[in-house]
């Protein structure tokens, strides 16, 4: 059962999300919060798999709460995957909010007017370690990363810990390739890609593919997107 905490200052939104998610059968809403600090407290106490986080809430915005939730593992010395994945759900599709959410460490971003099935799918993806960005903003997100984070020469910090093969895989992931496409490009098995990617994620301290792409852009380990941007977030 996937455990979820809902954080939104509107009761009707939380109630609607609860109904949608719990009808799926494999998702349980274990807590609700109407502000950022409460969301952080619930995440720490209940240890859910996913937190659905609104951006604008009283008592501290959702981006600040997201940052506090996802950095818990860094503070305690626990691995990144021990912290809940945060799915930012908002009415705002502005680049600034998307970029801010990913900067804060969110694993996914969707709009509130998304279809119910898409919300359920997003929660499942995040619970299974895959990132997600609403397709309406995917290209703009990648373009914004490229503009705001000029490439810096790799070779310092966590980048030095990666093997040559892990570096190749992270770079291809950031270009938008799926596991199968990476395997074909490098002439290796898909299972080998998964293994190398998992070890790379552990070394650089990220919990999912989306944040791996974010890390790659920050460290200059990418090239310009060639199609839809982060299609490589799909696992196949």
Averaged pLDDT in 10-residue chunks for the chain of 236 residues: 95 95 96 94 94 84 88 54 83 70 82 90 88 59 62 61 92 83 92 93 83 79 48 50
Residues 6 or more apart whose CB falls under 8 angstroms from that of 146 comprise: 217, 222, 224, 225
Residue 231 has a pLDDT of 43
Report the C-alpha gap between 88 and 62 in whole angstroms: 8
Report the C-alpha gap between 131 and 108 in whole angstroms: 5
Give counts: helices (H), strands (E), the chain.
11, 6
Q: Say if pTM beats, i.e. exceeds, 0.85.
A: no
Residue 225 has a pLDDT of 39
Report the C-alpha gap between 142 and 214 in whole angstroms: 9
Report the C-alpha gap between 205 and 69 in whole angstroms: 15
Residue 227 has a pLDDT of 39
Element (H, E) at 110: strand 108-111
Helix intervals (H) in 47-115 = 62-70, 72-76, 95-104
Residues 6 or more apart whose CB falls under 8 angstroms from that of 23 comprise: none
Q: Residue 1's Cα: distance from chain center in Å? A: 20
Q: What are phi and psi of 36, to 5 degrees?
A: -60, -50
Helix, strand, or coil here: 183? helix
Residue 78 has a pLDDT of 52
């Amino acid at each position: 059962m996937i455990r979820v905490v809902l954080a939104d200052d509107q009761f009707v939104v939380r109630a609607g999300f609860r109904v949608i998610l719990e009808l799926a059968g494999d998702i349980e809403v274990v807590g609700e919060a109407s502000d950022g600090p409460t969301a952080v407290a619930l995440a720490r106490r209940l240890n859910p798999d996913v937190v659905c986080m609104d951006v604008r809430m009283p008592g501290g915005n959702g981006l600040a709460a997201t940052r506090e939730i996802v950095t818990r593992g860094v503070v305690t010395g626990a691995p990144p995957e021990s912290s809940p994945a945060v799915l930012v759900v908002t009415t705002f599709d502005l680049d600034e909010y998307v970029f801010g959410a990913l900067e804060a460490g969110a694993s996914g971003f969707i709009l509130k007017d998304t279809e119910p099935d898409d919300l359920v799918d997003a929660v499942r993806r995040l619970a299974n370690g895959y990132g997600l960005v609403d397709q309406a903003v995917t290209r703009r997100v990648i373009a914004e990363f490229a503009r705001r984070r000029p490439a810096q020469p790799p070779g310092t910090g966590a980048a030095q810990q990666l093997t040559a093969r892990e570096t190749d895989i992270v770079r291809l992931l950031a270009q938008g390739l799926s596991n199968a496409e990476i395997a074909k490009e490098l002439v290796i098995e898909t299972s080998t890609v998964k293994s190398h990617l998992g070890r790379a994620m552990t070394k650089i301290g990220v919990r999912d593919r989306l944040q791996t792409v974010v890390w790659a852009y920050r460290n200059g380990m990418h090239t310009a997107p060639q199609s839809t941007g982060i299609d490589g977030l799909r696992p196949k």
